[in-house]
Amino acid sequence: MATRTPLMAGNWKMNLNHLEAIAHVQKLAFALTDKDYEAVEVAVLPPFTDLRSVQTLVDGDKLRIKYGAQDVSAHDSGAYTGEVSGPLLAKLNCTFVTIGHSERRQYHGEDEPVVNAKVKAALKHGLTPIMCVGEELSVREAGNHVPHTLAQVDGGLEGVAAESVAGLVIAYEPVWAIGTGKVCGEEDAQEVCGAIRQRIGELYDDETAQQVRIQYGGSVKSGNVAKIMAQPDIDGALVGGASLDAEEFVKIIRFRD
Ligand code: PEP
């Protein structure tokens, strides 16, 4: 069975300017030790405008923190005003990019074909997608959270090869738990994350299913992360609000302590 290194990623959303970003990453770097980096992979996902500053800091101080973007264009270059492409992110040595975050789905109308095109664009340029899926409250209340989320997985991965899927990250983020303080119970989170892994096994094969990392996201904090991370199919956390507090994010990273 594959051993999956947990990925603890901080989604800063539209917070922290480039100067604040430098100070924040410095705080994280000062607090984190080799033991932390041996136990988990740590990443920050700042706004686009911070990425060059974060890159300079990470390269200059040879930090082990990884970083990435919160979105990527489906296109490589050209007349797409306001978009940021895979080649531009790859040039900044980004490791990750979140795709299909619920806030992109909600406010920018991103659907499965868009998510699928962006996943392919990221992979083409050597970026690791963190593909976000998850249901709204009404869907959960109707008991349709598993089929709804699996349909997002199917659509997002259509035409993506097994070797690419093995290396990517899927973040299960129930929309009703994002930024609301309502954390999904660990058994409920496991139910969906387990179903996602099973679906990857059906779409691809067992080996791919055992390799893909599945994160939980939605009001993760130091007080609830240990129970979530104890679930067999949860391989990390995508942390929004709580990742803006460096001390709190370090406590989340040290969920085993
Ligand atoms: C997120 O933005 O992906 C997220 C999970 O936010 P929060 O942790 O604030 O709920």
243 CA closest ligand 1 atom index: 8
pLDDT in tens, 103-122: 999 999 999 999 999 999 99
- The answer to whether position 149 is within a domain reads yes
Specify the long-range contacts of residues 104-109, CB closer than 8 Å, at least 24 apart: 104/71, 106/175
Taking the centre of ligand 1 as the mean of its atom positions, its distance from the CA of residue 229, in whole angstroms, is 16
- The answer to whether position 95 is within a domain reads yes
- The answer to whether position 62 is within a domain reads yes
Q: What is the number of structural domains in the chain? A: 1
Q: What is the pTM of this model?
A: 0.97
- Looking up residue 169, the CATH number of its domain turns out to be 3.20.20.70
pLDDT higher than threshold 70 for residue 76: yes
Q: Is the interface score ipTM higher than 0.90? A: yes
pLDDT higher than threshold 90 for residue 225: yes
Establish whether 173 is a catalytic residue: yes
Q: 240: annotated binding-site residue?
A: yes
